[in-house]
Structure 1
Amino acid sequence: MSDPATISPAIVETLYEDALQLAEEARALFDTQDARAPFDEEDTQFRIALSCEGLRTTTRIMHAIAWLLNHRAYFAGEMTEFQLRRHGRLPPPQPEGDARQLAMMDLYTRSIIDRSRSLYARIERLDAAWRRHYAMQPEAVHRLRERIGQAFAVS
Protein backbone atom coordinates (compact mmCIF):
# COMPACT_ATOMS: atom_id res chain seq x y z
CA MET A 1 0.00 0.00 0.00
CA SER A 2 1.39 3.42 -0.89
CA ASP A 3 1.81 6.20 1.63
CA PRO A 4 -1.17 8.51 1.96
CA ALA A 5 -0.89 12.00 0.52
CA THR A 6 0.33 14.57 2.97
CA ILE A 7 -2.10 17.15 4.21
CA SER A 8 -1.42 20.40 2.43
CA PRO A 9 -2.87 23.87 2.90
CA ALA A 10 -4.64 23.48 -0.46
CA ILE A 11 -6.38 20.28 0.65
CA VAL A 12 -7.42 21.87 3.94
CA GLU A 13 -8.72 25.01 2.21
CA THR A 14 -10.73 23.03 -0.33
CA LEU A 15 -12.30 20.86 2.35
CA TYR A 16 -12.94 23.92 4.51
CA GLU A 17 -14.85 25.63 1.68
CA ASP A 18 -16.85 22.44 1.06
CA ALA A 19 -17.63 22.13 4.77
CA LEU A 20 -18.80 25.75 5.03
CA GLN A 21 -21.09 25.31 2.04
CA LEU A 22 -22.49 22.08 3.47
CA ALA A 23 -22.99 23.74 6.87
CA GLU A 24 -24.99 26.53 5.24
CA GLU A 25 -27.13 24.06 3.31
CA ALA A 26 -27.76 22.00 6.45
CA ARG A 27 -28.63 25.11 8.47
CA ALA A 28 -31.08 26.30 5.83
CA LEU A 29 -32.63 22.85 5.55
CA PHE A 30 -33.08 22.13 9.24
CA ASP A 31 -34.15 25.71 10.09
CA THR A 32 -37.00 25.77 7.57
CA GLN A 33 -38.37 22.33 8.44
CA ASP A 34 -39.96 23.57 11.70
CA ALA A 35 -41.95 26.32 10.02
CA ARG A 36 -44.82 24.03 9.02
CA ALA A 37 -48.47 24.09 10.12
CA PRO A 38 -49.87 22.27 13.20
CA PHE A 39 -49.08 18.58 13.27
CA ASP A 40 -50.52 15.16 14.13
CA GLU A 41 -48.88 12.02 15.61
CA GLU A 42 -47.20 11.03 12.33
CA ASP A 43 -45.89 14.55 11.91
CA THR A 44 -44.58 14.45 15.48
CA GLN A 45 -42.56 11.32 14.69
CA PHE A 46 -41.19 13.00 11.58
CA ARG A 47 -40.17 16.11 13.54
CA ILE A 48 -38.43 14.00 16.17
CA ALA A 49 -36.56 12.10 13.46
CA LEU A 50 -35.67 15.35 11.72
CA SER A 51 -34.40 16.89 14.96
CA CYS A 52 -32.26 13.86 15.72
CA GLU A 53 -30.76 13.76 12.24
CA GLY A 54 -30.33 17.52 12.23
CA LEU A 55 -28.31 17.36 15.44
CA ARG A 56 -26.20 14.46 14.18
CA THR A 57 -25.56 16.13 10.87
CA THR A 58 -24.68 19.57 12.22
CA THR A 59 -22.48 18.08 14.94
CA ARG A 60 -20.64 16.01 12.33
CA ILE A 61 -20.10 19.08 10.17
CA MET A 62 -18.99 21.28 13.08
CA HIS A 63 -16.46 18.67 14.22
CA ALA A 64 -15.05 18.56 10.69
CA ILE A 65 -14.89 22.37 10.53
CA ALA A 66 -13.15 22.56 13.92
CA TRP A 67 -10.54 20.05 12.73
CA LEU A 68 -10.03 22.01 9.52
CA LEU A 69 -9.74 25.32 11.42
CA ASN A 70 -7.04 23.82 13.63
CA HIS A 71 -5.09 22.71 10.57
CA ARG A 72 -5.56 26.10 8.92
CA ALA A 73 -4.17 27.74 12.06
CA TYR A 74 -1.21 25.34 12.01
CA PHE A 75 -0.43 26.10 8.35
CA ALA A 76 -0.76 29.84 9.04
CA GLY A 77 1.78 29.57 11.86
CA GLU A 78 -0.80 30.42 14.53
CA MET A 79 -0.50 27.00 16.17
CA THR A 80 2.53 24.83 16.82
CA GLU A 81 2.76 21.21 15.79
CA PHE A 82 2.65 20.24 19.46
CA GLN A 83 -0.55 22.24 19.98
CA LEU A 84 -2.12 20.71 16.89
CA ARG A 85 -1.20 17.19 17.96
CA ARG A 86 -2.55 17.82 21.44
CA HIS A 87 -5.70 19.81 20.69
CA GLY A 88 -6.46 19.06 17.05
CA ARG A 89 -8.01 15.65 17.52
CA LEU A 90 -11.11 14.73 15.59
CA PRO A 91 -13.88 13.56 17.96
CA PRO A 92 -15.38 10.11 17.40
CA PRO A 93 -18.10 9.96 14.73
CA GLN A 94 -21.74 10.46 15.63
CA PRO A 95 -23.79 7.28 15.99
CA GLU A 96 -25.73 6.29 12.92
CA GLY A 97 -29.40 7.19 12.79
CA ASP A 98 -32.32 4.79 12.78
CA ALA A 99 -33.01 3.49 9.27
CA ARG A 100 -36.77 3.90 9.80
CA GLN A 101 -36.29 7.54 10.72
CA LEU A 102 -34.05 8.13 7.72
CA ALA A 103 -36.71 6.59 5.47
CA MET A 104 -39.09 9.39 6.56
CA MET A 105 -36.78 12.03 5.06
CA ASP A 106 -37.00 13.33 1.54
CA LEU A 107 -34.15 12.76 -0.91
CA TYR A 108 -32.62 16.21 -0.45
CA THR A 109 -32.49 15.83 3.34
CA ARG A 110 -30.92 12.38 3.01
CA SER A 111 -28.38 13.77 0.54
CA ILE A 112 -27.31 16.44 3.06
CA ILE A 113 -26.98 13.74 5.75
CA ASP A 114 -24.99 11.50 3.38
CA ARG A 115 -22.74 14.37 2.31
CA SER A 116 -22.00 15.19 5.96
CA ARG A 117 -21.04 11.54 6.54
CA SER A 118 -18.83 11.57 3.48
CA LEU A 119 -17.12 14.81 4.54
CA TYR A 120 -16.54 13.46 8.02
CA ALA A 121 -15.14 10.19 6.64
CA ARG A 122 -12.69 12.13 4.46
CA ILE A 123 -11.54 14.19 7.44
CA GLU A 124 -11.32 11.00 9.52
CA ARG A 125 -9.02 9.40 6.93
CA LEU A 126 -6.85 12.52 6.79
CA ASP A 127 -6.67 12.67 10.57
CA ALA A 128 -5.69 9.00 10.81
CA ALA A 129 -2.99 9.43 8.14
CA TRP A 130 -1.67 12.57 9.81
CA ARG A 131 -1.54 10.86 13.21
CA ARG A 132 0.21 7.80 11.72
CA HIS A 133 2.80 10.11 10.20
CA TYR A 134 3.60 11.59 13.60
CA ALA A 135 3.23 8.42 15.65
CA MET A 136 6.46 7.23 17.17
CA GLN A 137 7.11 3.62 16.25
CA PRO A 138 8.29 1.31 19.07
CA GLU A 139 11.39 0.26 17.14
CA ALA A 140 12.43 3.91 16.84
CA VAL A 141 12.09 4.28 20.60
CA HIS A 142 14.24 1.18 21.13
CA ARG A 143 16.93 2.50 18.77
CA LEU A 144 16.93 5.81 20.62
CA ARG A 145 17.29 4.05 23.98
CA GLU A 146 20.20 2.03 22.61
CA ARG A 147 21.95 5.17 21.39
CA ILE A 148 21.43 6.88 24.75
CA GLY A 149 22.71 3.79 26.54
CA GLN A 150 25.81 3.69 24.34
CA ALA A 151 26.46 7.39 24.84
CA PHE A 152 26.33 7.09 28.62
CA ALA A 153 27.91 3.64 28.90
CA VAL A 154 30.67 3.40 31.44
CA SER A 155 33.91 2.22 29.90
Structure 2
Amino acid sequence: MSDVTTLGSTGSRITPRLIESLYTEAMVLADEARAYFDTVGRSERDGLDPFVRVGFACESLKVTTRLMHIIAWLLTQRAVETGEISTASGMRPERRLGHAGISDPEVVHQLPAAAQSLVEASVDLYDRVRRLDEESVSDAPVSSPARALMGRLERDLIWNGSH
Protein backbone atom coordinates (compact mmCIF):
# COMPACT_ATOMS: atom_id res chain seq x y z
CA MET A 1 0.00 0.00 0.00
CA SER A 2 1.29 3.41 -0.89
CA ASP A 3 1.43 6.09 1.79
CA VAL A 4 0.02 8.67 -0.58
CA THR A 5 -2.93 6.64 -1.82
CA THR A 6 -6.18 8.02 -0.54
CA LEU A 7 -9.06 5.80 0.37
CA GLY A 8 -11.99 6.06 -1.93
CA SER A 9 -10.05 8.31 -4.30
CA THR A 10 -11.90 11.33 -2.91
CA GLY A 11 -8.85 13.42 -2.10
CA SER A 12 -9.31 12.61 1.58
CA ARG A 13 -6.57 12.81 4.21
CA ILE A 14 -7.25 9.17 5.04
CA THR A 15 -4.18 7.25 3.98
CA PRO A 16 -3.28 3.58 4.44
CA ARG A 17 -0.54 4.61 6.87
CA LEU A 18 -3.04 6.60 8.95
CA ILE A 19 -5.49 3.69 8.96
CA GLU A 20 -2.78 1.27 10.11
CA SER A 21 -1.59 3.67 12.81
CA LEU A 22 -5.11 4.21 14.15
CA TYR A 23 -5.81 0.47 13.97
CA THR A 24 -2.70 -0.28 16.02
CA GLU A 25 -3.66 2.41 18.54
CA ALA A 26 -7.20 1.02 18.82
CA MET A 27 -6.01 -2.57 19.27
CA VAL A 28 -3.48 -1.57 21.94
CA LEU A 29 -6.14 0.44 23.76
CA ALA A 30 -8.61 -2.46 23.48
CA ASP A 31 -6.01 -4.80 24.98
CA GLU A 32 -5.29 -2.34 27.80
CA ALA A 33 -9.01 -1.94 28.51
CA ARG A 34 -9.57 -5.70 28.54
CA ALA A 35 -6.62 -6.26 30.86
CA TYR A 36 -7.74 -3.50 33.22
CA PHE A 37 -11.45 -4.31 33.36
CA ASP A 38 -10.74 -8.07 33.76
CA THR A 39 -8.19 -7.73 36.58
CA VAL A 40 -7.30 -4.54 38.44
CA GLY A 41 -10.57 -2.88 37.52
CA ARG A 42 -12.55 -5.67 39.18
CA SER A 43 -10.92 -5.14 42.55
CA GLU A 44 -11.13 -1.36 42.21
CA ARG A 45 -14.81 -1.62 41.24
CA ASP A 46 -15.61 -3.74 44.30
CA GLY A 47 -14.43 -0.95 46.58
CA LEU A 48 -16.70 1.67 45.03
CA ASP A 49 -20.02 3.01 46.25
CA PRO A 50 -22.88 0.99 44.63
CA PHE A 51 -24.01 3.94 42.48
CA VAL A 52 -20.45 4.56 41.27
CA ARG A 53 -20.08 0.82 40.64
CA VAL A 54 -22.99 1.00 38.19
CA GLY A 55 -21.36 3.99 36.50
CA PHE A 56 -18.10 2.01 36.32
CA ALA A 57 -19.89 -0.86 34.57
CA CYS A 58 -21.60 1.50 32.13
CA GLU A 59 -18.38 3.30 31.31
CA SER A 60 -16.53 0.01 30.73
CA LEU A 61 -19.24 -0.92 28.22
CA LYS A 62 -18.96 2.49 26.54
CA VAL A 63 -15.19 2.08 26.21
CA THR A 64 -15.69 -1.33 24.61
CA THR A 65 -18.42 -0.04 22.29
CA ARG A 66 -16.32 2.92 21.15
CA LEU A 67 -13.35 0.69 20.42
CA MET A 68 -15.40 -1.88 18.52
CA HIS A 69 -16.98 0.84 16.37
CA ILE A 70 -13.53 2.31 15.70
CA ILE A 71 -12.01 -1.05 14.79
CA ALA A 72 -14.93 -1.96 12.52
CA TRP A 73 -14.68 1.41 10.75
CA LEU A 74 -10.93 1.05 10.28
CA LEU A 75 -11.31 -2.46 8.90
CA THR A 76 -13.92 -1.14 6.47
CA GLN A 77 -11.52 1.58 5.33
CA ARG A 78 -8.82 -1.03 4.85
CA ALA A 79 -11.23 -3.17 2.79
CA VAL A 80 -12.07 -0.17 0.61
CA GLU A 81 -8.36 0.46 0.08
CA THR A 82 -7.66 -3.14 -0.93
CA GLY A 83 -10.68 -3.27 -3.23
CA GLU A 84 -12.60 -5.82 -1.15
CA ILE A 85 -15.38 -3.21 -0.87
CA SER A 86 -16.13 -0.77 -3.65
CA THR A 87 -15.73 2.92 -2.94
CA ALA A 88 -19.45 3.51 -3.51
CA SER A 89 -20.47 0.86 -0.99
CA GLY A 90 -17.89 2.23 1.44
CA MET A 91 -20.07 5.36 1.79
CA ARG A 92 -23.26 3.46 2.65
CA PRO A 93 -24.71 4.27 6.08
CA GLU A 94 -23.96 0.83 7.48
CA ARG A 95 -20.29 1.36 6.60
CA ARG A 96 -20.07 4.58 8.61
CA LEU A 97 -18.67 4.86 12.12
CA GLY A 98 -21.25 3.56 14.58
CA HIS A 99 -22.73 5.74 17.31
CA ALA A 100 -21.13 5.43 20.73
CA GLY A 101 -22.67 6.69 23.94
CA ILE A 102 -21.39 9.88 25.50
CA SER A 103 -19.69 9.61 28.86
CA ASP A 104 -20.99 11.71 31.73
CA PRO A 105 -18.05 13.75 33.08
CA GLU A 106 -19.51 13.62 36.61
CA VAL A 107 -19.59 9.82 36.52
CA VAL A 108 -16.13 9.54 34.98
CA HIS A 109 -14.71 11.88 37.63
CA GLN A 110 -15.78 9.40 40.35
CA LEU A 111 -14.00 6.45 38.75
CA PRO A 112 -10.51 5.20 39.64
CA ALA A 113 -7.71 7.02 37.80
CA ALA A 114 -6.95 4.09 35.49
CA ALA A 115 -10.60 3.82 34.43
CA GLN A 116 -10.76 7.57 33.84
CA SER A 117 -7.67 7.35 31.65
CA LEU A 118 -9.17 4.54 29.55
CA VAL A 119 -12.46 6.41 29.13
CA GLU A 120 -10.66 9.60 28.08
CA ALA A 121 -8.34 7.74 25.67
CA SER A 122 -11.30 5.96 24.03
CA VAL A 123 -13.24 9.23 23.70
CA ASP A 124 -10.21 10.95 22.17
CA LEU A 125 -9.63 8.17 19.65
CA TYR A 126 -13.34 7.96 18.80
CA ASP A 127 -13.50 11.73 18.22
CA ARG A 128 -10.50 11.63 15.88
CA VAL A 129 -11.96 8.74 13.87
CA ARG A 130 -15.41 10.41 13.85
CA ARG A 131 -13.86 13.51 12.24
CA LEU A 132 -12.24 11.33 9.57
CA ASP A 133 -15.55 9.55 8.97
CA GLU A 134 -17.37 12.87 8.59
CA GLU A 135 -14.63 14.14 6.29
CA SER A 136 -14.90 11.05 4.10
CA VAL A 137 -18.61 11.70 3.64
CA SER A 138 -18.17 15.39 2.91
CA ASP A 139 -15.45 14.50 0.38
CA ALA A 140 -17.63 11.89 -1.29
CA PRO A 141 -18.57 12.64 -4.86
CA VAL A 142 -22.18 13.69 -5.30
CA SER A 143 -24.09 10.88 -6.91
CA SER A 144 -26.80 11.24 -9.46
CA PRO A 145 -30.42 11.50 -8.27
CA ALA A 146 -31.15 8.16 -9.92
CA ARG A 147 -28.35 6.44 -7.97
CA ALA A 148 -29.53 8.08 -4.74
CA LEU A 149 -33.06 6.79 -5.37
CA MET A 150 -31.75 3.30 -6.13
CA GLY A 151 -29.71 3.39 -2.91
CA ARG A 152 -32.77 4.41 -0.86
CA LEU A 153 -34.87 1.68 -2.49
CA GLU A 154 -32.17 -0.90 -1.84
CA ARG A 155 -31.89 0.16 1.83
CA ASP A 156 -35.68 0.06 2.23
CA LEU A 157 -35.94 -3.37 0.66
CA ILE A 158 -33.15 -4.72 2.86
CA TRP A 159 -34.64 -3.07 5.96
CA ASN A 160 -38.17 -4.34 5.26
CA GLY A 161 -36.95 -7.78 4.31
CA SER A 162 -35.00 -8.22 7.55
CA HIS A 163 -37.82 -7.18 9.91
TM-score, structure 1 as length reference: 0.75
Question: Which range is displaced more, 13-22 or 89-98?
Answer: 89-98
Pairs aligned (count): 133
Flag the 1:36–1:91 CA change in 2: closer, same or farther, 3 A: closer
Unaligned runs of at least 5 residues, structure 2: 1-10, 146-163
Cα shift at 1:135: 4.6
Q: Determine the C-alpha separation between the residues in 2 that align with 1:122 and 1:60.
A: 12
- Cα shift at 1:38: 6.7
Other-structure match for 1:152: none
Q: 1:82 Cα deviation (Å)?
A: 1.9
Which residue, 35, 40, 51 being the options, matches 1:45?
A: 51
Of 45, 50, 63, 1:57 maps to: 63
Secondary structure in 2 matching 1:34:
helix
Structure 1 residue 44 displacement after superposition? 2.3
8 Å Cα contact 2:62/2:101 also seen in 1: yes
CA distances 1:51-78 after superposition (whole Å, capped 9, x unpaired): 0100111101110111001001111221
- Structure 2 residue 89 is matched with structure 1 residue 89: no
Distance in 2 separating the partners of 1:37 and 1:132:
42
Distance in 2 (alpha carbons) for counterparts of 1:36 and 1:119? 25
> Which of 9, 19, 24 matches 1:12?
19
Specify the structure having the higher radius of gyration (Cα): 1
Residue of structure 2 in register with 1:134 after alignment? 140
Residues 37 and 72 of structure 1: CA distance in aligned 2, closer, same or farther (over 3 Å): closer
Quick check: 1:24 aligned with 2:31? Answer: yes
Structure 1: runs of 5+ lacking an equivalent: 142-155
Q: Partner amino acid for 1:26?
A: A
Taking structure 2 as the reference length, what is the TM-score of the superposition?
0.72
Identical aligned residues as a percent = 34
- Counterpart of 1:55, as a letter, is L
Measured at CA, do residues 38 and 112 of structure 1 come closer, stay the same or move farther in structure 2, by a change above 3 Å? closer
Comparing 87-96 with 45-54, greater Cα deviation is found at: 87-96
Whether the 8 Å contact between 2:62 and 2:100 is mirrored in structure 1 is no
Q: CA RMSD in A?
A: 2.4
